[in-house]
Amino acid sequence: MKGCVFDIRHYSVHDGPGIRTSVFLKGCPLRCRWCHNPEGLEPEPVQVCRERQAGGKTIRNTETIGKSMTPDEVVKEVLKSRIFFEESEGGVTFTGGEPLMQPEFTEACLLLMKQEHIHTALDTCGYVSPDNFIRIAARADLILFDLKHCDSGIHQQFTGVPAGLVLTNLRASIEAGFPLIVRIPLIPVFNLSTDTLISMAGYLRETGWSGRVNLLPYHHIAIHKYEKLGMDYGMKNIRPPSAAEVEQAAKIFRERGFVVNIGG
């Protein structure tokens, strides 16, 4: 069995507790306008031609983004950072793209990590088959669940898919008692309004869940990736949220009983 991986990033501190290694899998069912990893959208490796000028000549180099790996190869690479996991109570996070676009591969990797006693986190958009979701999420020690909007029409307008399946899998995670962190990107023109955030907080409270919420302020860091891939970045004229807007968002969730982190 092989999967398609486009990056393995050691020493990450933003994808779960402690120092972690993040494994980025290719393929995503969403097309979020603000996507920070556009190189992970397509399920197959992609070739990018880069040009630079040197001595009056144009030099072209072709780079392939994404490579085929076995679960054993992924584990071998991840274990290079075992000492950092032990010292920081960290581990490995499977992200993407959407790792559950490669369900059998992700499950196999999670099982091998368990054998090595490595803490595992699964970063998911939730837009996946409920059967696959429950089966594979149960293998992970922590679910990082991305909740973007509760209004299905607005969700589809900005991500390309309705919210129903996402909300179904989020509720299933809560009912199953999976260790869970809800991650909410703060995107101006999409979900940053007070009314929208109050609605999202209310939805989470209605499910009976009152755990940790990580708020992820939108930024422009990924613009260079779009340029490299020859893709248009439709959010380049959208400003990041101000510090005051981020604090107001955090206040909304804290006042409703959630533990709130900015980032992570």
- What is the CATH number for 30? 3.20.20.70
Q: What's the gap between Cα 3 and its chain centre?
A: 18
Provide mean pLDDT across the span 118-123.
98
Q: What percent of the chain clears pLDDT 70, i.e. is strictly above it?
A: 97
Q: Is the pTM of this model over 0.95?
A: no
Q: Say how far apart CA 149 and CA 195 lie, in whole Å.
A: 12
Provide mean pLDDT across the span 69-93.
96
Q: Check residue 201 and report its DSSP letter.
A: H
Q: Say how far apart CA 175 and CA 208 lie, in whole Å.
A: 9
Residue 77's contacts (CB-CB under 8 Å, 6 or more residues apart) are 8, 21
Provide mean pLDDT across the span 33-38.
94
Residue 44's contacts (CB-CB under 8 Å, 6 or more residues apart) are 4, 26, 66
Range of lowest pLDDT (35-39, 47-51, 71-75): 47-51
| pLDDT at residue 220, rounded to an integer | 87
Q: What do you get for the CA distance between the two ends of the chain, in Å?
A: 31
Question: Residue 123: what residue type?
Answer: D
Total domains in the fold of the chain: 1
Q: Say how far apart CA 184 and CA 24 lie, in whole Å.
A: 19
Provide mean pLDDT across the span 232-256.
94
| pLDDT at residue 70, rounded to an integer | 98
Backbone φ, ψ for residue 164 (5° rounding): -55, -50
Residue 50 has pLDDT above 80, yes or no: no
Question: Residues 257, 205: contact at Cβ < 8 Å?
Answer: yes
Q: Which domain holds residue 214?
A: 3-262
Mutual angle of helices 103-115 and 130-137, in 10-degree steps: 10
Residue 79 has pLDDT above 80, yes or no: yes
Burial class (CB in 10 A: 0-12, 13-18, 19+), 114: middle
Residue 161 has pLDDT above 70, yes or no: yes
| pLDDT at residue 51, rounded to an integer | 65
- Residue with the larger pLDDT of the pair 221 and 214: 214
